Chains A and B, each alone.
Chain A
Amino acid sequence: MSAAEPLLRVEDLRVEFHTEDGVVHAVDGITYQVLPGKTLGIVGESGSGKTVASMTVLGLTRHQGAEVSGRILFEGRDLVTMGEEQLRGIRGNEIAMIFQDPLSSLHPLYKVGKQLTEAIRVHRDVSKAQARARAIELLGLVGIPDPADRVDQYPHEFSGGMRQRAMIAMALANDPKLLIADEPTTALDVTVQAQILELMERLQRELGMAIVIITHDLGVVAEMADDIAVMYAGRIVETAPASEVFAAPEHPYTWGLLRSIPRLERDREEPLVPIPGSPPSLLAPPTGCHFHPRCAYAQPSHSRVDPALELVPGASNHFVACLLEPQLRRGLWSPLSAGATPDEAKQEAGFADETAESSAVR
């Protein structure tokens, strides 16, 4: 994607869970990379495997009995094969993570200060007093007023936004090179969401860390991300610089995501278009292209052939995993982006179904 050496490079990562009902293919061979100081947004519905993929980076799925294959290269070191003790030295230190629900992510019975200082002292050889001073400094850095008093309070004495700030302070404790933020604003009020995103951007500028932000909210990635990876049913279906994803999306699933959010420049009468159906079970994902049962443009052959993530012709770092012809995709998106329905778009693009059976496949 770029000449710079990636900070994190994930190659063909697969994560499987063996359950009583069978094998869950939570992550099904994903590849992406994060450059130092840049932000990658991973977008997808619940159950698309985006959280599992990121937790696996820190080895947090090991405790759940996950079977992991592929490579996760962090500054050249493979985190998949790394020993637990060594990986523990990276967790919370070089790579930190914040989670969706800041209340349940903080230990209810320990003071915020203790939870901060333990994060510092586990990786740094500092005295309790020094760690406490650093904890107060961190709380101030993330915009918590009266940090010297707040440090001795319990999480339940913090508001939702303050808790997420405290979580961010905890994650920043050891100046990580990479921050993984898993739905960091989902559990918060809209106004607080904006504050938290702003805070993360400010901290990224000041501290120069890279961020992987995982979300189902395209608005969040539009604001934050340099690059976007769209995940569906355990796979990355499209990845590109953020501006390109919004201007020239290539995958029908991305089209669906974009058309299901309200946009100011559109006519208010124009209805939002949801993606029909629901995400597939990862116990038995669809054959071929995982999206074909919900895709308006799927052909019978799409249920047999696995699409590979391939470079979009003419682009330098825009990849898509779609079996439709590139020409046809462009022909479809231009009417769709203007508000046409899938059927109208098909007509306009001169789209011809392979056979009459295609509807039966859907």
Chain B
Amino acid sequence: MTAYVIRRVLWGILMLLVVCLVTFVIFRVLPAGNPALLRAGRNPTQGQIKAIEHSLRLDRSLPTQFYEYVKNILLHFNFGYSYGSNESVLQLIKERLPATISLTVGAAVLWIVFGVGIGILSAVRRHSYLDRGSMGGALLLVSAPEFWLGLVLLFLFSSSIGKFKILPGAGSYVGLTSDPGKWFTSMLMPWFVLAAGSAAVFARLMRGNLLEVMDEDYIRTARAKGLPEKEVTKQGVRASINPVVTVIGLEFGLLLGGAVLVETVFNIPGVGRLAYESIARSDYEVIEGTVLLAALFIIVANILVDILYAYLDPRVRYA
């Protein structure tokens, strides 16, 4: 097991390097805009642009740039600087991270609790109104893009532009430590929007798995033993949760992608909005920093899921 985890971590580091390279290629080799041009102000001369390019080291060869970028990360843990504000990328991300963690952790809790819970209820009360209603709702939420759902909620419930002014609207985020109550109410809509799609996927997955498992022979055995139906269902849930856990790792990546949209719609000063803003400004090193962070989270989440899976299923042994 230990050897397996070490191997996974090493592979994870290699994966991060690959992510680094791919991001680098996407933004620098196939650039969307010249960052020097964006910094130069109105009607710059060719000389001004060249000077800025030189100061940003954009005039060096691409392999040299990549080499220096990776070298700085590995040797100095330095992820570069924002072209716009000259702040260190690490510092920028550190400032923005609490908001993103608030958003994603809250959404993940909501997603897993409601997804699994509704899935189980739907399966147990198959064909009931509850089942039909929640599966219909799930289909709707799976299909609804975050930015659309976010805007709809803002128009419905936000205190600024909403029809029913019951929740704080966009830009109302405050840190958890400064005002927990306000933090909570301001996060309710973003959490819901970010969790909705994943929760819907999970509810459907959980329902399907559980219905399948309840037809298994060992469930029949459990009934034949005379176990109460509640215990029988519990054993069914226990057996059907494993495939759902595997999907957590995959779904986590989608959650981070959704965070970019949700932070933008709700104007939350998190890493997602930082990524969005830096893409708009061709702020290469900030983009690369945020992408690396997201990749790191996904890789760690997947390693954790695999370890959890071995713990959940005694038949799985990693060598």
> Interface on A for B, CB 8 Å cutoff?
55, 58, 60, 63, 88-93, 96-97, 99, 101, 104-110, 118-119, 122-123, 154, 156, 167, 170
B315 proximity list for chain A (CB < 8 A): 108, 154, 156
A55 to B313, CA, bound (A): 30
17 contacts between A and B (CB under 8 A): A60-B220, A60-B223, A63-B223, A91-B225, A96-B224, A97-B224, A99-B220, A101-B217, A104-B218, A105-B217, A105-B220, A107-B221, A107-B238, A108-B218, A110-B238, A119-B226, A123-B226
| Cβ-closest chain B residue relative to A104 | B217
A109 touches B239 (CB 8 A): yes
Cβ B226 vs Cβ A105 within 8 A: no
Asked whether any CB of chain A lies closer than 8 Å to the CB of B308, the reply is: no
Residue-wise, chain B 221-244 has the 8 Å CB interface mask toward A (1 for contact) of 111111110010001001100100
* Chain B residues within an 8 Å CB radius of A104: 216-218
| B165 CB, nearest partner CB in chain A, Å | 49
Closest to B222 in A: A107
Contacts of A101 in B (CB 8 A): 217
CB of B312 within 8 Å of the partner chain: yes
Is B314 located at the chain interface by the 8 A CB criterion?
yes
Chain A minimum-CB-distance residue to B313 = A109
**B214 nearest CB neighbor, chain A only:** A63
For B218, give its contact among A63, A107, A122 (CB under 8 Å): A107
Residues of A within 8 A of B224 (CB): 58, 60, 91-92, 96-97, 99
Q: Taking CB as reference atom, which chain B residue is nearest A63?
A: B223
Q: Are B217 and A99 in contact (CB under 8 A)?
A: yes
Taking the closest CB of chain A, its distance from the CB of B220, in whole angstroms, is 6
- Cα separation A143 to B126 with both chains bound (whole Å): 42
Tell me the complex Cα distance, A63–B227, Å: 14
CA distance A60 to B224 in the complex (A): 7
Contact flags B184-228 to A (C-beta < 8 A → 1, else 0): 000000000000000000000000000000001110111111111
Give every chain A residue within 8 A of B239 (Cβ-Cβ).
Answer: 107-109
Provide the residues of chain B in CB contact with A156, threshold 8 Å.
Answer: 314-315
Assembly CA distance A156 to B224 (angstroms):
21
A123 to B224, CA, bound (A): 12
**Contact call B227/A122, Cβ cutoff below 8 A:** yes
A63 to B222, CA, bound (A): 13
> What total count of A-B pairs have CB within 8 Å?
74
Q: Which residues of B contact A63 (CB under 8 A)?
A: 223
Contact B314 A92 (CB under 8 A): no
Q: Are A109 and B221 in contact (CB under 8 A)?
A: no
Bound Cα distance A105, B223 (Å): 11
A90 proximity list for chain B (CB < 8 A):
226
A96 to B224, CA, bound (A): 7
The 6 closest A-B pairs by CB, nearest first: A92-B225, A91-B226, A92-B226, A104-B217, A107-B218, A105-B217
Q: A92-B225, A109-B312, A118-B225 are in contact. List 7 more A-B contacts (CB 8 A).
A: A92-B226, A99-B224, A107-B222, A109-B238, A109-B239, A109-B314, A119-B226
Q: In the complex, what's the smallest C-beta–C-beta distance from B97 to chain A, in angstroms? A: 37
Question: Are A154 and B225 neighbours in the complex by a CB distance under 8 Å?
Answer: no
* Neighbour of A119 across the interface among B218, B225, B238, CB < 8 A: B225
Q: Shortest beta-carbon distance, A72 to chain B, in Å? A: 15
Please indicate the chain B residues that have their CB under 8 angstroms from the CB of A154 in the complex.
314-315
Cross-chain contact B226 with A106 (CB below 8 angstroms): no
User: Chain A's nearest CB lies how many Å from the CB of B216?
Assistant: 7
Question: Least Cβ distance of A130 to chain B in Å?
Answer: 18
User: Is the pair B223, A170 in contact by a Cβ cutoff of 8 Å?
Assistant: no
Contact check, A105 vs B314: say whether CB atoms are below 8 A apart.
no
With A99-B217, A107-B235 as known contacts, state yes or no: A170 contacts B225, CB within 8 Å.
Answer: yes
Expressed in whole angstroms, the Cα–Cα distance for A92 and B216 within the complex equals 18
A44 to B21, CA, bound (A): 67
Determine how close the nearest CB of chain B comes to the CB of A102; give it in whole angstroms: 9
Q: In the bound complex, how far is the Cα of B226 from the Cα of A92, in angstroms?
A: 5
Report B-chain residues with C-beta under 8 Å of the C-beta of A89. 226
A89 and B225 CA atoms in complex are apart in Å by 9
Instruction: Output the least CB separation between B253 and chain A (Å).
Output: 27
- Expressed in whole angstroms, the minimum distance between the Cβ of B219 and any Cβ of chain A is 8
Question: Shortest beta-carbon distance, A308 to chain B, in Å?
Answer: 33
Collect the chain B residues with CB atoms within 8 Å of residue A170's CB. 221, 225
Closest Cβ–Cβ distance, residue B308 to chain A (whole Å): 14
Q: Is the CB of A93 within 8 A of B226?
A: yes
Q: Give the distance in Å from the alpha carbon of A108 to the alpha carbon of B217 in the complex.
A: 11
Closest to B218 in A: A107
- Enumerate chain A residues within 8 angstroms of B313, measured Cβ to Cβ: 108-109
- Closest residue of chain B to A55 (Cβ to Cβ) is B220
A94 to chain B, nearest CB (A): 9
Residue in chain A with minimal CB distance to B235: A107
> What distance in Å separates the Cβ of B144 from its nearest Cβ neighbour in chain A?
33
- For the complex, what is the distance from the CA of A99 to the CA of B220, rounded to whole Å? 9
Return B231 CB to nearest CB of chain A, in Å.
8
Nearest-CB distance from A177 to chain B (Å)? 14
Query: How many Å from the CB of A217 to the closest CB on chain B?
Result: 20
Contacting residues, chain A, for B235 (C-beta < 8 A): 107, 110
